[in-house]
Amino acid sequence: MHKINSSSLNSNSLFGISLSELIPKDHPKRVILDKLPWDELVKIAKRAYVSDYWKDKPNPRIMIGLFVWSCVSDDKTYRMIKEDFEFHSLCAYACGFKNNDAVRKIHHTTLIKFEEHLGKENILKIKDIIESISV
């Protein structure tokens, strides 16, 4: 059996490697994700949280990451995006996670609520930003 030096492992990661090291830098989706102005996108995402009708609001960085993921992943359904969030490393990277060992769970209706509260104008702004970067 191959021996592993325990000091070389990152205690926060199951495999001792971060997502940024795991995903190739030239992967087409990662190239787009790395170029996006995440601070600006998170500011837009926070506009969905002005309503008091939505209790237990999820992290805006995760929600905007999922929205961006849906835009760059060929119009998947909400259930497919939910599965990607739970199992896909590149989706976790889009949501701002640093390691792949975090347990990620979300209900697909949360994505629907996010889009409803975000509004059409903000959705179009986000899509314009993504399109300008990906072209």
pTM: 0.80
pLDDT in tens, 34-87: 999 999 999 999 888 876 666 777 888 999 999 999 988 876 888 999 999 888
**Rounded Cα gap, residues 49 and 41, in angstroms:** 14
H helical segments located in the chain? 19-22, 28-35, 38-45, 60-72, 78-87, 89-94, 108-118, 120-134
Distance CA 12, CA 100 (A): 9
CA atoms within 13 A on the CB side of 129: 21
Q: How far is Cα 90 from Cα 35, in angstroms, rounded to an integer? A: 15
Task: Please indicate whether residue 57 or residue 25 has the higher confidence score (pLDDT).
Answer: 25
CA distance 23 to 3: 25
Closest CA to 126 of 65, 51, 53: 65
Length of the chain: 135
Q: What is the mean pLDDT of residues 96-109?
A: 82
**What is the predicted pLDDT for the residue at 54?**
66
